[in-house]
Every structure is written in structure tokens, then in C-alpha cells.
């Protein structure tokens, strides 16, 4: 199979993604990304490949070939059973696995993402992957119903942080509010300036003025938030 430039960009984005996915899931999971451009050297990225002894350049597996033939004969909908299944490797280790087709241009299958959980891994290793993070303190995450709700929550949190902080002069409080919202990425949301201005009882021009001051004349600031 000949891959296009866009196909390769898609696979590259998956390669970057599985690094983060591996960091999240932990070492009990082996995650591999295959390109269908060369079946003999299909693995383009693998995390924790020591489980199977594979590295980049390894060939496609027999099960992946089976799935591709199923897609060829019956279409993508025929691969549901490959989404989550139990497996056993040649040395007798039990796995919970997922084999997922990667789609490129014109909706054709250009690669395969494989995830294998090694069920014989020590329980301590699995528990460590569930509890260990790079942050010592847990982050609070708000699951908004829509982006307007997300903006309103961010404004409310910023108010609580700024308005009763006696170390911030009253004349600087609005600018500090805008700075906090800017650092949280709120102004990357379309029409956020209008909603923030209304919530803070400011004019849009005042919000723009503070933003320009905060970004020190970064001309891309307004475009990036859809102003």
C-alpha cells in the first residue's frame, strides 16, 4: 500500500498520542502502531515492547492480517469483535487486547493500533499505573455542559481568587482577572470576550485593552480566540 503525505501525518499524530496513552496506562500495557505500507516492517511505534520482544520494524501479526481480510470482505463494521478480546501469546501469557483500524484519506485503512494488557503482570505494577502521576497534588477538573458553562465557571473561579485578595490593588483587579482567564486559555474560545465582558460588567474594549497589555502586543492573540 502506498501512503499519501496526509496518511503519514495521520500516523505520525497517532505515534505521538500513544506515548501519552502509555504514560497514562502504565507499563503493564504494550501499545503498538502499525503502518500498512510494509507488512514486513509494519510497527512504526511501540511502547513497552519488551513484553513481546518487539521493536519498531517488526512485522504485522497474524491476527491483524485476519482483521484486515475481514474488513476487505465485510467492511469496517465487521471488526467489532476485535475492539476488546482475550488472547494468549506464544509463551502462554494471557492478554486483554484491542486491535483498532486507523483510517486515512478517503476512509481507507492505513494502519492498526494494538493495545495489549498483560494480565500476568504483578498486581503492584498495575496498581502503580493507576495511582502514580507526575503531579503530587490532584488537579480539579470541571466537566462543563457547554463552552458557555465553562467560561462562566472560569470567571467565577477567577473572581474568588482575585476579588478578596488584599495584595492586589483595586485598580488592578480587572486586569488580574483577565490575566488568569488568559492563562487558562479561555480566550481561545470563540465569542469568549463578549461573555467575559458581560460577566465582569466591563466593555469589550476594556477586555481587549487588558489582553493587549498582557500579551505585550502579540498580534496573534485576538485571532487565536476568534475575536
What parts of the chain have a pLDDT lower than 50?
A: 219-227
| Residue 91 cell numbers, joined | 509463551
| pTM across the whole model | 0.69
Q: Is 96 helix (H, G, I), strand (E, B) or coil?
A: strand
- pLDDT at residue 15, rounded to an integer: 92
pLDDT at residue 131, rounded to an integer: 66
Mean of per-residue pLDDT scores for the chain: 86
The residue among 65, 69, 47 whose CA lies nearest residue 56 is 47
Cα 65 from Cα 114, distance rounded (Å) = 13
- Report the C-alpha dihedral over residues 167, 168, 170, 171, rounded to 10 degrees: 140
Amino acid at each position: 500500500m502506498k501512503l499519501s503525505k496526509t496518511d503519514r501525518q495521520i500516523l505520525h499524530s497517532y505515534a505521538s498520542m500513544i506515548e501519552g496513552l502509555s504514560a497514562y496506562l502504565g507499563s503493564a500495557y504494550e501499545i503498538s502502531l502499525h503502518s500498512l505500507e510494509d507488512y514486513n516492517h509494519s510497527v512504526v511505534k511501540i511502547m513497552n515492547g519488551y513484553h513481546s520482544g518487539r521493536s519498531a520494524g517488526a512485522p504485522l501479526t497474524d491476527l491483524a492480517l485476519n482483521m484486515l481480510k475481514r474488513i476487505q470482505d465485510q467492511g469496517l463494521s465487521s471488526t467489532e469483535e476485535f475492539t476488546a478480546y482475550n488472547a494468549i501469546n506464544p509463551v502462554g501469557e494471557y492478554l486483554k487486547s484491542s486491535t483498532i483500524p486507523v483510517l486515512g484519506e478517503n476512509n481507507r485503512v492505513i494502519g492498526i493500533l494494538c493495545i495489549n494488557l498483560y494480565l500476568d503482570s504483578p498486581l503492584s505494577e498495575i496498581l502503580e499505573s493507576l495511582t502514580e502521576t507526575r503531579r503530587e497534588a490532584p488537579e480539579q477538573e470541571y466537566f462543563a455542559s457547554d463552552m458557555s458553562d465553562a467560561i462562566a465557571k472560569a470567571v467565577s473561579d477567577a473572581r474568588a481568587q482575585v476579588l478578596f485578595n488584599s495584595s492586589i490593588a483595586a485598580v488592578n483587579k480587572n486586569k488580574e482577572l483577565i490575566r488568569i482567564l488568559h492563562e487558562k486559555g479561555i480566550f481561545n474560545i470563540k465569542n469568549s470576550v463578549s461573555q467575559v465582558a458581560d460577566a465582569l460588567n466591563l466593555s469589550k474594549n476594556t477586555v481587549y485593552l487588558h489582553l493587549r497589555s498582557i500579551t505585550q502586543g502579540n498580534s496573534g492573540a485576538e485571532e487565536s480566540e476568534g475575536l
